[in-house]
Amino acid sequence: MHRRRPRGLGLKPIPDTTIFDLRHSQRGWRLNKLCGSLCRPENREAFKRDEEAYMALFSLTEKEKQLIRARDFAGMIAAGMNIYFMLKIGSVTGNSLYRMGAQMRGEKYEDFLATRNMKDAV
């Protein structure tokens, strides 16, 4: 029997904002699972040693792999990555929260820092 997927009771959207809900979580599961695995130092080393081999362990789609290769953080969020899990792949690739944030805002890192009250508090 065909069943139309219910839209759900989800929250009304907020501009320029992702609300990480069950639909995001389902879509992003492979990406989030990979990032969760980076909580082990030996896995971080394995990722740094051979990113492609590491990604192959998590059944990522080609599109998901491309997001990681491109360090496309806005794209990862759109693909269902949770921000707190994305911090782990940011860390292992040398991208701090603030660098990822500047990219998501579409700004240079230095320009983003200039918008802050006390940019040394990093």
- Tell me the two tokens of residue 115: 């918008």
- Tell me the two tokens of residue 92: 């292992």
Q: Which is nearer to another protein, 1 or 57 (CB)?
A: 57
Q: Is 46 in the site for another protein (CB under 8 A)?
A: no
What's the min distance (Å) between Cβ of 52 and another protein? 20
What's the min distance (Å) between Cβ of 4 and another protein? 21
Q: Is 12 in the site for another protein (CB under 8 A)?
A: yes
Residue selected from 1, 6, 15, 62 as contacting another protein according to rule CB under 8 A: 15
Distance CA 88, CA 97 (A): 10
Q: Is 117 in the site for another protein (CB under 8 A)?
A: yes
- Residue pointed to by tokens 């990480």: 20
Distance CA 112, CA 48 (A): 28
If we measure between CA atoms, which residue out of 93, 118, 98 comes closest to residue 35?
93
What's the min distance (Å) between Cβ of 76 and another protein? 9
With contact defined as beta carbons under 8 Å apart, do 64 and 116 qualify? no
Residue selected from 48, 69, 108, 116 as contacting another protein according to rule CB under 8 A: 116
